[in-house]
Amino acid sequence: MPMTQKRVAALVISLVSGFYLTPAIAQDNGNQANKSSDNSAQSSQSQADSTANKPGNVRPIGQWNYQQLYQSGGVRADRLLEASVLNANGDEIGSVENAILNQDNRIIALIAQVGGMWDIGDTHVAIPWEEIKLTDTGVQVPIREDNVDDYGLFDESYVIKQDLDQATQVEDDVMTGPQTWKITDLLNDYASIDDGEGYGYVTNALFSKEGVLQALVIDPSEERYGQGPYAYPFYGYEQGWRPGDSAYQISYSSEETKTLPTFDYTQYDSPWNTTQANQ
């Protein structure tokens, strides 16, 4: 097995309100008014400080816009997970099932089901991202009937009991470990804002053509947050997110989220986006 494919196989297997005081006498009314004014100013300043001083590398919402996404384009996760897998001749040999990412939020491999037309029957394989070519009709890969074993998910030299004990399931028989994860760990997850309040659902993910996760697309579940969809930057491990979390937390307040415009899929150039629909 080529070294790149062995590294991918190893990665795939080894983965996973405040209170207030009531005035006692009427002469305190003026003081209370002043305090109220001060509190309002402090609240506004607190929101500004929150925006300007996000933890880690989380950028203020005012510094995030969609223009770079629209200009560069990329790959939509919903389209990628529906893509056909093609051999070198352009013949369909299977379909994409999942994408495996590393701790830097970059795709390292696609999980595909191939081989239905071969004697081996349907089988799952791990295809390194650098060996994949995106075409107008699907994902072209160098897999043939005579080399499909080189792309197998399982290699006994890499599978040990400790790996499987710490693994996270990708498909029925595909595992990932602590420092790699699958895109379906996020898709359809519930999303909350930074105070824990419910916000909506992760409906899509956007990747650069190099496989780097650019943004998550989230649809609000309540009208007060707008119709959506909205695209948010994703920080992954640096933000404290971990695969298997019960919900994804957006690093912004409810007021900050309301400043984002609706994300326009028709301005985002992506393979297989023939319908130009929002969903």
Nearest Cα to 216, choosing from 260, 254, 168, 255?
260
Over residues 248-254, the mean pLDDT reads 92
Query: What is the spatial distance between Cα 127 and Cα 129, in angstroms, rounded to a whole number?
Result: 6
Distance CA 257, CA 270 (A): 25
Q: What is the pLDDT of residues 102-145, one digit of tens each?
A: 989 999 999 999 876 666 667 888 999 999 999 999 999 999 88
**pLDDT score of 238:** 83
pLDDT for position 10? 52
The distance from CA 37 to its chain's CA centroid, rounded to whole angstroms, is 42
pLDDT of residue 244: 85
Question: How confident is the model over 76-112, as pLDDT tens digits?
Answer: 999 999 999 999 999 999 999 999 999 899 999 999 9
Pair 32, 195: CB distance under 8 Å: no
Angstrom distance (rounded) from CA 68 to CA 196: 29
- Residue 43: both structure tokens together: 């609240």
Q: What is the dihedral of CA 228, 234, 237, 242, to 10 degrees?
A: 30
Q: Which tens digits make up the pLDDT trace of 209-237?
A: 999 999 999 999 999 999 899 999 998 88
pTM of this prediction?
A: 0.74
pLDDT, greater one: 109 or 165: 109
Residue 42 has a pLDDT of 45
Does 41 or 184 have the greater pLDDT score? Answer: 184
Nearest to 190 by CA among 235, 249, 236, 260: 249
In the chain, what are the domains? 3-15+75-181 (2.30.30.240), 66-74+183-267 (2.30.30.240)
Nearest CA-CA partner of 99 in 202, 171, 190: 171
Instruction: For 8-56, write each residue's pLDDT tens digit.
Output: 555 554 443 322 223 333 344 444 444 444 444 444 444 444 444 555 5
How high is the pLDDT of residue 67? 95
Residue 5: band (very low, low, confident or very high) from pLDDT cuts 50, 70, 90? low
- Ranges 146-150, 185-189, 255-259: which has the least confidence: 146-150
Give dist(CA 13, CA 10) in Å, integer. Answer: 5
